[in-house]
Amino acid sequence: MNRAYAEQLVSRWVGILGLTTWHIHVVWPENAHLWPENDDDFGKFGKDDYAAVWRPKDYETARLYINEELLTSFRPDAHLTLEVAIVHELLHLVTRDIEGILDQLEGQLHRDVRDVIETVFSHNLEAAVDRLAYSLVRFSNSIDPAL
Ligand SMILES: [Zn+2]
C-alpha cells in the first residue's frame, strides 16, 4: 500500500458517502505546515490511531490525516484497517451537524450535566460510526463490482 492507494480509497468513499460537494484534503506529514492554525495533535498518531479528520462547523471542507504506519504494516488485515479508518473519518463529516448539537448546548446547561451528555453522546456516536464503517467496508468488498 502507498499514499496513492490511500487517496484512491478516499476518493471512492467520498463518492459512496455522498460527500462530493466537500473539499477534502488528504494531509501527509510534510504538508501539515500548510495549515499552521491546526497546531493541535492532528497528524500526531498514537499506537492505535489510524486516522483523524478536522472540519469547521460551517463549511464543507475537511483535512484527513492518515497514519502512514498503516501503509507499511505487515498486519494481515492492514488493508481492511486502512479502509475502515478512512470510512470512519469520512462518516464524521456525514454526522458533523449531529455532533454540532453539543456546541449549541454550550452555556445552556450546568457544566456537570453537559459533561455527562458529552461523554455519553461521544462514546455512542463513536461506536455507531465505527460499526457503520466496518459494515460498509465489509459490504462493499463483498459485492461483485461487475454487477
Ligand atoms: Zn471517530
Predicted pLDDT of residue 59: 92
- Between the CA of 120 and the centroid of ligand 1 the distance, in Å, is 14
Backbone angles phi, psi at 39, to 5 degrees: -90, 30
Quick: pLDDT tens for 6-53. 999 999 999 999 999 999 999 988 877 777 666 556 667 777 789 999
Residue 145 or residue 10, greater confidence = 10
- Please say whether the beta carbons of 91 and 26 come within 8 A: no
| pTM reported for the whole predicted model | 0.88
- Between the CA of 133 and the centroid of ligand 1 the distance, in Å, is 10
- Between the CA of 52 and the centroid of ligand 1 the distance, in Å, is 8
Which three cell numbers mark 53? 479528520
Q: Where are the domains of the chain?
A: 3-142
